[in-house]
A and B are shown apart, each in its own frame.
Chain A
Amino acid sequence: MANKRFGLFSLLASLALIASADTGANWLEVQFPHDSPVLPVTLSLQQPGPTTATVRGASLVVDLHASLLLRNTGTKTLSGLTLLVETPDLTPAGRGSVTVPSLHAQPGEVFPVHINMQIARPLSMGRSKGPMMQLSLDCALFSDLTAYGPDKLHARRQLIVYELQARRDRHYLAGLLEAGKLAQLREELNFGLQDLNPAQLAFELLHGPTAVATNREQPLAVNTVAFPDAPLKPLSGHAEVAGNEVRSPRLELRNTSTRTVKNFEIGWIIRDDRGRDFMAGSLPSAMQVGPVETASLTQPGTLRFSHPSGQPMVVDGLLAFVNDVEFADGKLWIPSRRDITEATPDPVLRRVLGSSPEQQRLAEIYRHKGMGGLADELKRLD
Chain B
Amino acid sequence: MSSGPKAHPAPEFLALDARGDLPLFSRLRVRAHVLRCSECEHTIALFQLAHTELKREAGAETLTAFEAIADWDRLEREMLGNITVGVAAARCIDNVGRKRSWYVTLAFSTAMAALFIAGWLTHIPAQETRQLTAKLAHFARLAPPPVPANLVRATPTGIAVRSDGITLTILHPPGAVVAVSGSSSAEARFVDEDTGQLTITSVYGQ
Q: Which residues of A contact B (CB under 8 A)?
A: 48, 85, 87, 89-90, 92-103, 111-122, 125, 153, 162, 194, 197-198, 200-210, 212, 268, 279-284, 299-301, 303, 308, 355, 357-358, 360-361, 364-365
* Residue of B184, B186, B192, B197 with highest tally of chain A CB at under 10 A: B197
Inter-subunit contact B180/A95 (CB<8 Å): no
- In the complex, the answer to whether A280 meets B162 with C-beta atoms within 8 Å is no
Indicate with 1 or 0, residue by residue over B164-201, a CB within 8 angstroms of chain A CB atoms.
11111111100101111111111101011011111111
- The complex places the Cα of A212 from the Cα of B129 at a distance, in Å, of 12
Partner of A281, one of B131, B181, B196: B181
14 A-B pairs (CB sep. < 8 Å): A93-B166, A96-B161, A97-B202, A101-B198, A201-B178, A207-B150, A207-B184, A280-B180, A281-B180, A281-B181, A282-B179, A283-B182, A358-B198, A361-B191
Complex CA gap A203/B151 in Å reads: 11
Asked if A208 and B198 make an inter-chain contact with CB atoms under 8 angstroms apart, the answer reads: no
Asked if B156 is at the interface (CB within 8 A of a chain A CB), the reply is yes
Separation of A97 and B200 alpha carbons in the complex (Å): 8
Contact status of A153 and B204, CB under 8 A, knowing A90-B168, A207-B150, A361-B191: yes
Contact between B166 and A205, CB atoms less than 8 A apart: no
How near does chain B come to A179, taking the closest CB pair, in angstroms? Answer: 26
Q: Which of B153, B164, B201 contacts A205 (CB 8 A)?
A: B153
Contact B178 A94 (CB under 8 A): no
In the complex, what residues of B have CB within 8 A of residue A162's CB? Answer: 200
Q: Which of A198, A206, A208 has a CB less than 8 Å from the CB of B146? A: A208
- Let me know if B152 is at the binding interface, CB within 8 A: yes
Describe B's contact surface by its main secondary structure: strand
Q: Is A94 in contact with B168, judged by CB distance below 8 angstroms? A: yes
Which of B161, B163, B182, B189 has the most chain A CB atoms closer than 10 A to its own CB?
B182
Choose among A87, A202, A212 the residue that contacts B156 (Cβ–Cβ < 8 A). A202
Contact B206 A93 (CB under 8 A): yes
- CB contacts (< 8 Å) of A355 on chain B: these are 177
Q: Known contacts A119-B167, A205-B151: does B184 contact A301 (CB below 8 Å)?
A: yes
Q: Are B177 and A202 in contact (CB under 8 A)?
A: no
A87-B166, A103-B197 given; A204·B179 CB < 8 A: no
Choose from B130, B179, B192, B198 the contact partner of A279 (Cβ within 8 Å). Answer: B179
Report yes or no: B177 in contact with A212, Cβ–Cβ below 8 A: no
| Identity of the chain A residue whose Cβ is nearest the Cβ of B135 in the assembled complex | A209
In contact, B186 and A205 (Cβ under 8 angstroms): yes
Chain A residues lying within 8 Å of B177, measured Cβ to Cβ, are: 197-198, 200, 279, 355, 360
Residues of B within 8 A of A100 (CB): 197-200
| A94-B206, A208-B146, A212-B130 known; A125-B165 Cβ under 8 A | yes
CB <8 Å contact, A204 and B183: no
Per the bound structure, the CA–CA distance linking A75 and B151 in Å amounts to 41
Extra 11 A-B pairs, beta carbons < 8 Å, given A207-B149, A209-B130:
A94-B168, A97-B201, A98-B199, A114-B194, A120-B169, A203-B153, A205-B153, A205-B183, A303-B180, A361-B198, A365-B196
Q: Which residues of B contact A118 (CB under 8 A)?
A: 158, 167-169, 171
On whether the beta carbons of A102 and B198 are closer than 8 Å, the reply is yes
B9 in the interface, Cβ–Cβ < 8 Å? no
**Contact of A208 with B150 in the complex, beta carbons under 8 Å:** yes
| In contact, B161 and A206 (Cβ under 8 angstroms) | no
B97 at the interface (CB under 8 A from A): no
Contact partner, B151, options A92, A206, A364, Cβ 8 Å: A206
Which among A89, A99, A204, A360 is the interface contact of B201 at CB below 8 angstroms?
Answer: A99
CB neighbours of B194 from chain A (8 A): 48, 112, 114
Is A111 within 8 A of B197, CB to CB? yes
Q: A114-B194, A280-B179 are in contact. Are A96 and B204 (CB under 8 A)?
A: yes
Q: Is B154 an interface residue (CB 8 A)?
A: yes
Bound together, the chains give a CA A338 to CA B116 distance in angstroms of 61
**How many angstroms between the C-alpha atoms of A119 and B153 in the bound complex?**
14
CB-defined contacts of A204 to chain B, threshold 8 Å: 151-154
* Interfacial residues of chain B within 117-173, with CB under 8 A of chain A in the complex: 127, 130-131, 134, 146-156, 158-159, 161-172
